[in-house]
A and B are shown apart, each in its own frame.
Chain A
Amino acid sequence: MSDRLVQLRLLVPALCGVLLLRAAHLQLVRGAAYLRLAEQNRLRLVPEQAPRGLIVDRRGATLATNRTAFRVAIVPQETADVGAILARLGMLLRRRPDLLERTFLKERSLAFVPAVIVPDVPKETALLIEEDRAGLPGVLVKPEAARHYPHGSSAAHLLGHLSQPMAEELPLLKRYGVRPKELVGRAGLEQLLDAALRGRSGGLMVEVNHRGRQVRLLGRRSPDAGARVTLTIDAPLQSLVEQLLGAQPGACVVLDPRTGAVLAMASLPSFDPGVFVGPEPQAAAQLLDDPRSPLMNRAAVGVYQPGSIVKLITAVAALEHRLITLQTTVTCTGSITIGDRTFHCWNRDGHGPMTLTDAIMQSCNVYFMSIGLRLGADRLREALEHAGVAQKSGWPLEEQAGHLPRRRLTQGEVALLAIGQGEILMTALRAALVAAAFANGGWVVQPWVVQAVAGRPVAASRARRRLPWSNESLAAVRGGMREVVRNPLGTGHRAFNPSVALAGKTGTAQTHVPDRTHGWFIGFCPVDEPRVAMAIVTEYGGSGGDLPAEVARAVCEYVSVSDA
C-alpha cells in the first residue's frame, strides 16, 4: 500500500504543475491580450450624432434643417415573443407584420442592440406606442435628428440630398468618422460641403454588464454641430421662378452680373430631397426611374440648342471685325439662298430693310445669316469660344460643357451657327453668364453659390475674364436688347413692364423633333445699372417670347422691389 501512496505523491506536483503552467500562459504570456478583451467586454462606445449644419439663403431663411424623427426599434433580448409584438405593432403602425418581421431579421445584430424596424413614424404613432409600453416589452421609440427641407422640392438640385453610404465607400468614409448607417451627402451642396455640414459626432463611453445594460458612464465627448452654410440664393426668388415654370420642364438661372453670385437656380421637374431619408425607400427608387429625369439639374447639366440668343455674339463679332455698323442695313426678303439651299426667315414675308437694332429686336434670321456668312466659320467660332459656349464655367457642382462644331463647316452650316442652330449646345448657366457679360461691360464672371461657412465668408476665386470686345460694340448690342422688350414689335415684348428696365433676347430653337422648339430668354436688369442677369430655357416649351419672357419680367419685378 505504501508504494502506491508514494506514487500518488508524484501525482500532486504533476497536476499542480499542469494547472500553473496553463495559468502562467494565460496570465503572464497572453495576459495583455486578455485584458484588452475584458475591456472590450465592458466598454461600449455609444455614438452621439452631431446635428447636421443648416443651409440658409442670403437672408438667413432656412433651406435645409433637422427635424425629430421617431424610430421604432426592438431590443431582441428583452422581447420574448417577437411574433406577438410585431403583430401588435403592425396594428398600431398599419403595416403588415410579416414585412416588419423581415426588417427585424435583417436589422438585428447583438442581443442588446436595438434593431430598427421602422426608421420614421409620425409623432402621433410614436405616442401611441409609448402609451402601450406595458403591452410592448422590448420596443423602443427613439427620437433622432433627420434632415428636413422645409421648402420641399425648391432648390432641390442645388441642395442635393443624403443617403446611406454604399458598402464599398465605407472604408474611405471611415477615415472621416462616418459609421455604417450614418447618412452622407449624396448630391449637390449636401455632398460638396459634407465634411463641414456633418460636424464631429461625439459619444459616450459606457461601462455595461453582461446584458449590455449601462452600469456607469465613464466619459462623454459632446458632438460638435455641423457648420451653418449661407448661400447666395434668394429663396423667395427661387420659389417664384419655380412656380412660374410650374409643370413646364426647363431651367432658370439668375445671377449677379457684378460678382457671379447665383441668386436662383431652378430646374424642373424637381423632387423632394426629403424622400431619400424619409420612411419610404421606394419613393427614392421611383425618382431614379422617372423618365422625366427629375434628379437632373437642367440648369447646369442640361444642354440645349440655344437658337437666337447666339445672335448677340454674332452681332458683337461682326461689329468688332468692322463688317457692320449701327447704320448698316440688310434687307430681309423672307429668305436667303446659300449655295443650292434656301433658308427662310421666321417671318416668311420678310422684315424689309433692317439695322442691327431692328434685327436684334425682331430676331431677323436673314440679317444674322448674311453677316454670319461674311464673318466666316473661323471668326464666328472664335467669338463663340470667347463667350465660352462650349466651356465649363467653374461652377462648383456638377456641370456639363456645351458644344461647338470642330469640323469644317459648309457655308449653310456657318449661316445656321450664326443664329444658334445646328451643331451647337449650351447650358442655361452658360447663357446666364453670356447675359451677365453684356450687362457688366464684357466680363465673364465665375458663378458661385456658397457665401459663408460657419459665419466665415468663403474666399471663392472671384476670377473673371475680360472679353476682347470693345465697350462700343457691347453697348450697340445692349441697345438692341433693350428694344427687344421695350418695342411693341420686339420678340420679347411680353416681358415689358414700364416700371422696370429689362433688356434681353429671345430664342426659339429648333430641335431634332419637328415642330418642337426650346424657348429661351436671356437678359438683365435694370438696364442702366444691372443687378441681375438671367437665362431661362423651356424644354420643348415653344417660343422664347412666351413663358421665358414672362419669367424674366417676374424676376425683374421682384428684383426692383427687393434690396438685392
Chain B
Amino acid sequence: MKSLRGWDLGLVGAGIALVTISAIAMASAASTVSGGLALRHGLWIAIGLALFVGVASTNFHRWIDTSGLAYGVSLILLAIVLAAGTVRFGATRWLSLFGLSVQPSEFAKLATTLLLARYLAGQTSPLPARVALTALALVIPSALLVFVQPDLGSSSIVLAIWLGMAWVAGMSRKTLAGCAAALMVLAPVAWQLLKGYQRDRLLAFVNPHADPLGAGYTIIQSTIAIGSGRLWGRGWFAGTQNQLSFLPEHHSDFIFSVIGEEWGFLGCVAVVGAFAWLLFRMLHIALSASSPQGRLLAAGVFSWIAYQAFVNMGMVIGLLPVVGVPLPLISYGGSSMIMLWIALGLVQSVSRTDAMR
C-alpha cells in the first residue's frame, strides 16, 4: 500500500485527508462570507490535485534545473506587486492576472525551495558557514520584497525554508548559533521597520486583554471559539463564534478555530494528526531519496509546511503572535492551495524517481 509504482500513497492520503477536512470546514465557515466561496474552494482543491498528479509524473530534476529562472520571475512578480498591486487589508499582496488575484509570495516560496535545493546540493557536508550565508543571501531579496508588502508571516516562511534546508545540508551548530545571535541584535531594528498594526498584534499577543476590542479581539475570540468546542465540538454549522462572525478571517487564517469550535478536540487531533502523517511521509521520502537534490527538495517542502502549519495553529490557539499566514491545504486561498499541491507533486516525484532507479 505504501508504494504503488513509486507513488507514495501515504503522502497522497495525508494530503487528501487535509483537503477533505478543509472542504468540510469551509462549507460552514464560508456560508457567512459569500455563497460561492466554498464552491470556489472546492475548485482550487480539484485544480491542485490535478497539478499534483501532473507534476508528480515529471522528473523533479528538470524543475530544479529551471530554478534560477523561476526565482528570477518570482522576484520580478514581487516587485510588480509592490509597484502596482491591489491594496487589500492594508497590505499589498495580490496581483491581478486574467481577472484572477494571485499571490506571488506563494510562488516565491516554491521558487526559493527549488533554488536552494539546486545550490545546496552541490556543497560538501558539513556545510561551511560561508556557503550557508551565501544561501541566505540568495533568498534575502525574496524575503525582503515580501516583508515590505508588508507580509511578516510569508517573509518568515522563506527564512524558515532556508533554515530547514541549510540544516539538512549540514550547517554547523555554530553557524546556527551565530544566526540566532544576529537575529537578536537585529530584532530591535526590525521592530522599527514593522507597521503599527504589526506591532499592535505582537503586543496583543503578550497581553490580549490590554486592548480587547482592538488588536487583542481576534486572539480572544479565537480562544473562545476553540475552547467552547470542548471534546465533541458544537456541531457542523453550529459554532456560534463562526456562524455569527465573532471570529474575523474565519475562512482564511482562522479556519483552525472553526474546526476546533465545530468539531472539538477530536477535530483538532484529526488536523494535527493528518499534518504529522504528511510531514512523516515527506521525511521518509527525503531519507530514501538517492540524490541530494531530491533529499533537499523534500526537506524544503517539509520545512515550509511544518513551519507554516505550526505558526498558523500556534497563533490561532494563542501560543504565538498573530501573523497572517494561512493553514496549509486548509485555509481558503487559490494561490496557496495550488503552490502547495505543486510542491507536494515535486516531493512525490522525488519518491517516484527513486523507485525507478
Contact = CB atoms under 8 A, between A and B. Distances in A.
Interface in A1-57: 1-2, 4-6, 8-9, 11-13, 15-16, 18-20, 22-24, 26-28, 30-35, 37-39, 41-42
B293 to A, nearest CB: 11
Contacts of B164: 8
A23 B168 contact: no
A31 B224 contact: no
Interface in B168-182: 168-170
B129 to A, nearest CB: 16
Given A1-B169, A12-B276, A20-B272, A31 B230 contact: yes
Contacts of A19: 268, 272, 310, 313-314, 317, 319
A22 B292 CA distance: 37
Interface stretch (B59-67, B84-92, B280-288): B280-288
A30 B227 contact: yes
Given A9-B283, A209-B245, A1 B268 contact: no
A207 to B, nearest CB: 7
A208 B264 CA distance: 23
B244 A26 contact: no
A543 B167 CA distance: 112
Contact of B244 (A11, A12, A20, A215): A215
Given A8-B283, A9-B283, A35 B313 contact: no
Contacts of B240: 38-39, 41-42, 207
A76 to B, nearest CB: 12
B169 A24 contact: no
A8 B299 contact: yes
A5 B246 contact: no
B244 A23 contact: no
Contacts of B310: 15, 19
Contacts of A211: 245
Interface in B263-310: 264-265, 268-269, 272-273, 275-276, 279-280, 283, 286-287, 292, 295, 299, 302, 306, 310
Most buried by A among B168, B213, B318: B168
Interface in A507-547: none
Contacts of A15: 306, 310
Most buried by A among B169, B246, B264: B246
Nearest to A40: B224
A5 B283 contact: yes
A272 B240 CA distance: 50
A42 B246 contact: yes
B20 interface: no
A210 B276 contact: no
A70 B170 CA distance: 77
Nearest to B269: A20
Given A4-B167, A207-B244, A27 B226 contact: yes
A28 B230 contact: yes
A208 B319 contact: no
Given A26-B227, A31-B231, A5 B265 contact: no
B244 A31 contact: no
A210 B314 CA distance: 24
A56 B38 CA distance: 64
A288 to B, nearest CB: 40
A1 B125 contact: yes
A16 B275 contact: yes
Interface of A: 1-2, 4-6, 8-9, 11-13, 15-16, 18-20, 22-24, 26-28, 30-35, 37-39, 41-42, 111, 207-211, 215
6 contacts: A5-B286, A11-B306, A27-B231, A35-B228, A37-B224, A209-B245
Interface of B: 125, 164, 167-170, 213, 221, 223-231, 240-241, 244-247, 260-261, 264-265, 268-269, 272-273, 275-276, 279-280, 283, 286-287, 292, 295, 299, 302, 306, 310, 313-314, 317-319
